[in-house]
């Protein structure tokens, strides 16, 4: 049973790397990235020593499956510590100031357990004792979830020898989770990877047992209904059930932005709202046939399917709209938690910069070596480091981790576009093309925009926990969503959770548009930048593609106009009408 109606999504590699240890005891679900095995190994060392556990290092040795083994060891430790803390909370006295009291204070106002707690405070004697027993019996920890970006599945080499596919980055991370003791969820993001999805069927934990229970559930982060159906069917044919579909705004989110063709979050969720039963029914037919063929137990009815969403939500009213109208099971709140030290890992300088950041400081960039638009904060320390390296005559990162090595423009073996290996070659090529000084400077600036995300997104943990340096010089990369512009200050867990549930307000209402309006604006700006050649390819800039994009934006605006008062969109009526009237 989920106690809260929000979850904390994955943020970078470091920002939520140990969040479950901090919040799972309070019944809050959170997601850990498992792309960076070096960071996880250092974090295992840190937490083992902090909590008096034995720490036996796992040296990097790809042939010895070190990537998967490090992942398993770290997840086992996180799970063990979270369980230990929750057990201590259950034993805590039911009195103000205890962790148990805090657990109950954080719950949604209408939560049954919180109502029991209210009755307990008003009772006495035997009744109070009985109610306390019910409260303790109803406590549930938050779930530990892990994230794999399916596209970050780089092949690995020992010398010149390429290792078998199961040693690829995403495959090894998946295996590390599958072999761990964690009973949680695997969140798959960044699109469809047939080979990786098929590999899941190698592990029993992803299959339902005799009682229909799945110890390692699958969550798909999807952009629309069609994607959910397609990916869900592929997995169902393997006998694998998707327990949750997590819809994320294409642009009003943190990190990588996988833009849809002008399809907006409201209409996308509407389709899920209307077709969820149909989705479950179709997939269950495929699923049962596959289980019979595999000789595995077949449930009498479909296992539970959760529908969740995230991206840009910033008020209790928006939170409740998503829950009540679209019948969601949970809503993701990410970027605001970057301002909460007891939840996320952010170094003090970066947290202060995030607190001050306004709308113009948070923007969609070409910083990711993956070639996917990436949300960043202007002025992050990694930007200055990139410029410094260039001015010193050795542009690009030494690339110590190499998780984003996918470019073969200059080399047979893939390298990263943020690396020194690539940027030296690229600048040499640019200088040979006879470009004007202005053109050359523009192309070099575009190249220097690429950030070493492997080290940059891990650096906050190194700074906060005084871990061994990743390399001689490392800057911090940070990837908040645009919504963070309306939040500021160093915040507590209580303040942020009370804001989510409408018991307090910590966001600036001044100039903040509704999340649906903000997303619409972001898409309109994105289309302008696609036409200008900043994002997308030639296919996205064809007249037909641009017309389809505009038509989808107009259809989305009309959808919101039809629900103007129901969604609280009256202040933006004129703006929505202008978008709705856009010619296709």
Express each pLDDT in 352-361 by its tens digit: 999 999 999 9
Measured in residues, the chain has a length of: 584
pLDDT (mean) for 473-492: 96
Q: Which residue has the higher pLDDT, 191 or 15?
A: 15
3-state secondary structure (DSSP) of residue 168: coil
Calculate what percentage of the chain has a pLDDT beyond 70: 99
CB-based contact 335:483 (threshold 8 Å) = yes
Contact status, residue 170 vs residue 202, Cβ threshold 8 Å: no
Position 468 scores a pLDDT of 95
Residue 393 has pLDDT above 70, yes or no: yes
The mean pLDDT value for 365-378 works out to 96
Most distant CA atoms of the chain, gap in Å:
88
CB neighbourhood size of 348 (10 A): 12
Query: What value does the mean pLDDT of the chain take?
Result: 96
- The helix/strand/coil state of 330 is strand
Lookup result for tokens 């020898």: 161
How confident is the model over 425-439, as a mean pLDDT?
Answer: 95
* Local structure of 308: helix, strand or coil: strand
Residue-wise pLDDT for 65-89, tens only, equals 999 999 999 999 999 999 999 999 9
Which pair of tokens denotes residue 391?
A: 């001015």
- Percent of all residues in the chain with a pLDDT value above 90, rounded to a whole number: 97
Strand partners, 344: none
Closest CA to 350 of 262, 442, 457, 445: 457
Helix (H, G, I), strand (E, B) or coil at 470: coil
pLDDT per residue as tens digits for the range 292-336 = 999 999 998 999 999 999 999 999 999 999 999 999 999 999 999
Spatial neighbors of 189 by CB under 8 A, at least 6 apart, are: 10, 147, 148, 149, 150, 221, 248
Residue labelled with tokens 């240890």: 21
pLDDT greater than 70 at residue 203: yes
Please state whether beta strands 185-189 and 306-310 pair in parallel, antiparallel, or not at all (unpaired).
Answer: unpaired
Please report the pLDDT score of residue 406 as a whole number. 95
Q: Which of 309, 283, 304 is nearest to 221 (CA)?
A: 309
> In this structure, are strands 161-162 and 185-189 parallel, antiparallel, or unpaired?
unpaired
Q: What is the reported pLDDT for 168?
A: 97
Confidence of residue 582 (pLDDT cuts 50, 70, 90): confident
Residue-level pLDDT at 210: 83
**Span 397-422, average pLDDT:** 96
Structural tokens at position 530: 């696609």
Residue 1: what pLDDT?
58
Name the residue among 511, 249, 254 with its Cα closest to residue 359.
511
Per residue in 514-536, pLDDT tens?
A: 999 999 999 999 999 999 999 99
pLDDT in tens, 245-292: 999 999 999 999 999 999 999 999 999 999 999 999 999 999 999 999
Going by C-alpha positions, the residue among 577, 535, 534, 529 that lies closest to residue 553 is 577
Helix, strand, coil distribution of the chain in percent, nearest 5: 50, 10, 40
Residue with tokens 């910590």: 506
Segment 484-506 shows an average pLDDT of: 97
* 457 φ, ψ (degrees, to nearest 5): -80, -15
pLDDT in tens, 221-231: 999 999 999 99
Q: Give per-residue pLDDT as tens, 136-152.
A: 999 999 999 999 999 99
Res. 511: pLDDT tops 90: no
How do 242-248 and 161-162 pair as beta strands? unpaired
- pLDDT at position 509: 77
How confident is the model at residue 584, as a pLDDT?
47
Q: Does the pLDDT of residue 346 top 50, yes or no?
A: yes
Given a cut of 70, whether residue 583 has pLDDT beyond it is no
Mean pLDDT on 409-423: 96
Number of H helices, E strands in the chain: 21, 12
């Amino acid at each position: 049973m989920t106690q809260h109606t929000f979850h904390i999504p994955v943020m970078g590699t470091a920002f939520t790397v140990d969040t479950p240890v901090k919040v799972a005891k309070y019944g809050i679900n959170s997601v850990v990235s498992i792309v960076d095995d070096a960071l996880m190994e250092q974090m295992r060392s840190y937490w083992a020593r902090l909590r008096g556990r034995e720490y036996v290092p796992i040296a990097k040795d790809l042939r010895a499956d070190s990537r998967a083994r490090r992942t398993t060891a770290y997840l086992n430790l996180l799970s063990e510590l979270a369980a230990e803390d929750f057990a201590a909370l259950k034993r805590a006295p039911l009195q103000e100031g205890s962790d148990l009291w805090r657990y109950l204070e954080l719950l949604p106002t209408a939560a049954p357990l919180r109502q029991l707690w209210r009755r307990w405070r008003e009772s006495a004697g035997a009744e109070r004792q009985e109610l306390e027993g019910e409260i303790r019996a109803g406590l549930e920890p938050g779930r530990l979830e892990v994230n794999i970006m399916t596209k970050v599945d780089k092949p690995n080499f020992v010398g010149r020898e390429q290792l078998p596919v199961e040693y690829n980055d995403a495959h090894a991370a998946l295996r590390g989770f599958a072999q761990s003791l964690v009973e949680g969820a695997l969140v798959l993001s960044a699109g469809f990877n047939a080979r990786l999805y098929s590999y899941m069927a190698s592990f029993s934990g992803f299959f339902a047992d005799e009682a229909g229970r799945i110890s390692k559930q699958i969550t798909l982060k999807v952009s629309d209904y069609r994607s959910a159906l397609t990916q869900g069917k592929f997995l169902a044919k393997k006998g694998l059930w998707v327990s949750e579909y997590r819809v994320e705004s294409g642009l009003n989110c943190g990190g990588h932005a996988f833009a849809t063709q002008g399809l907006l979050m409201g209409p996308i969720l509407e389709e899920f709202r209307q077709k969820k039963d149909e989705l479950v029914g179709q997939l269950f037919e495929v699923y049962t046939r596959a289980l019979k063929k595999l000789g595995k137990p077949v449930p009498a009815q479909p296992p539970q399917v959760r529908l969740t969403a995230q991206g840009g939500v910033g008020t209790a009213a928006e939170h409740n709209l998503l829950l009540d109208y679209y019948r969601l099971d949970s809503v993701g709140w990410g970027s605001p938690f970057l301002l909460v030290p007891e939840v996320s890992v952010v170094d003090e300088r970066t947290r202060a910069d995030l607190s001050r950041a306004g709308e113009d400081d948070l923007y969609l960039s070409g910083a990711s070596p993956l070639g996917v638009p990436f949300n960043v904060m202007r002025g992050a320390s990694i930007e200055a480091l990139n410029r410094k390296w260039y001015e010193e005559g050795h542009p690009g990162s030494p690339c110590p981790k190499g998780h984003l090595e996918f470019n073969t423009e200059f080399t047979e073996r893939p390298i990263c576009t943020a690396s020194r290996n690539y940027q030296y070659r690229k600048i040499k090529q640019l200088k040979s093309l006879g470009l004007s000084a202005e053109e050359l400077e523009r192309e070099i600036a575009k190249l220097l925009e690429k950030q070493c995300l492997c080290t940059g997104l891990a650096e906050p943990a190194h700074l906060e926990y005084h871990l061994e340096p990743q390399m001689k010089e490392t800057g911090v990369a940070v990837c908040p969503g645009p919504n963070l512009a309306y939040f500021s200050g160093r915040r507590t867990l209580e303040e942020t959770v009370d804001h989510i549930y409408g018991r307090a307000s910590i966001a600036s209402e001044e100039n903040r548009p509704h999340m649906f309006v903000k997303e619409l604006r972001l898409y309109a700006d994105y289309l302008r930048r696609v036409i200008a050649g900043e994002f997308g390819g030639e296919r996205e800039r064809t007249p037909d593609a641009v017309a389809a994009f505009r038509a989808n934006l107009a259809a989305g605006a009309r959808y919101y106009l039809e629900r103007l008062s129901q969604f609280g969109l009256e202040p933006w009526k004129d703006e929505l009408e202008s978008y709705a009237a856009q010619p296709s």
